[in-house]
Structure 1
Amino acid sequence: MEDVVFLDEDVRIPLDVARLDARLSMPTRNSGVVVFAHGSGSGRHSPRNRHVAELLQREHLGTVLLDLLTPDEERRDAETRELRFDIPVLAGRLAAVVDWLADQVATGNHPIGLFGASTGAAAALVAAAERPAAVRAVVSRGGRPDLAGDALTRVLAPTLLIVGERDEEVVELNRQAARRLGAGGELEVVPGAGHLFEEPGALDHVARSAARWFHRNVGSAPVS
């Protein structure tokens, strides 16, 4: 498959109180866009999410890898570990990123999906509940959807919950969350995988499943 990148650049996304650093990659002019919400203590340089993003790009899906915390906030969170679990703040920022994408020439009117890992999955689900018309699909990798609380019942986007077989407690939390999702959730358990999907082939399994889910539910924007 030929790799053709229409747009690949670092951007700063303005919010009311901060600016978020991000990497926006659009393989084609009409790519659907997948926004990554990273997990506890992680950011846009996460090797696992970058691996998944690169596969999605090869499948002609756009990606946004971003930091949901500013550098100052990340330093504070490294000491206190409080901001990484502030789901309302993280979800609000993710929803603001969705709004920002709708206003950009390169991404406006393009379908959007959200990919959340760990606590970022809860933020993604809350943001999907807050932006039901904009968010077409959600994928969670080793996520904590239970932290989304009652917002689960308001999620209309088709949601795929991927967990490792050996991550037993999180498997059960995801199974319970799938039953609460407003649009229904599909649970996929990756055989032999742990919480971080570090086993050979496990992360590729996640990436392939995510690509299929986003192609089915996000796809590509119509050519104008």
Structure 2
Amino acid sequence: MVEDLKLYGTSACSYSLRIELALKLKKIPHDYIEEDLFNKSPSLLKYNPVHKKIPVLVHNEKPVAESQVILEYIDETWKNNPILPQDFYERAMARFWARFIDEKILPTAQKAIYLEGKEREVMIEEVCEQMKLLEKELDGKDFFGGDGIGFVNIVGNVVAFWFRMKRELLGSDQVCTPEKFPSLSRWIGNLQEIDVVNECMSPTEKHLAYVRSRIEDIKSAPK
């Protein structure tokens, strides 16, 4: 049976790029459909009527939404080059840290961007405390969860971007420094040495524009 696999995403969004990275790591042929998030296609709305968001993976006309759910689906469907650990406990820990990144670190970092003054300082301090927990988990390791790139590294690649773009996003170089976070800094360097990771990075200005547009949406949303 010929596989029909399509990924609906946008190259400015880290959630979309993590799916592209997983597919490339597993060498899975697929069609990529770039979405305009300000003018969403009828296909995207059909395949993800609940959240109406990217990414959406459509496998033989069966849609799967939400990036971490998609990553697990890919890993369970195509067994080569596994991205989740085979040990059940390590797999549970990978899910834990991936959710910590998406549910704790990223929302706090977003708040730090759109708040100002003292409120921003409080959020910056909070995200630094959260990053310390990641730093501790990574201590002495080249990658999260093992010797190579896997589930947490794929999800956490967005943290690497925010770490590098701290001045553009937060107006300061002093938030996440190599001195404060030596293990995370080394991990980012390790990621940058992997060709397929670099292939799945959004151009900096395009990603910054996307992040800023999302922040403006948050600021203008009804309170």
Q: TM-score, normalised by structure 1?
A: 0.29
Higher helix share: 2
